[in-house]
Amino acid sequence: MSPQALTNAIISGINAGGEQFLEGTLAAVLPILWLVILGLHLGRPYILDMIDRFTLRLGADLLWLIYVALRDFLIVSGVVMSFMFFFPDVMNTDALPLTGGLA
User: pLDDT category, 23, cuts 50, 70, 90?
Assistant: confident
CA 69, 62, 52 angle in degrees (round to 5)?
110
At residue 12, φ and ψ (nearest 5 deg) are: -70, -35
Is the pLDDT at 20 greater than 90, yes or no? Answer: no
Type of residue found at 14? I
Report pTM. Answer: 0.71
Cα separation, 72 vs 37, in Å, equals 9
Nearest Cα neighbor of 66 from 81, 83, 88, 51 is 51
DSSP 55: S
Percent of the chain at pLDDT exceeding 70 = 84
16-20, 21-25, 95-99: the lowest-pLDDT one: 95-99
Q: Are 16 and 88 in contact (CB under 8 A)?
A: no
pLDDT tens track for 54-94: 888 888 899 999 999 999 999 999 998 888 777 766 666 66
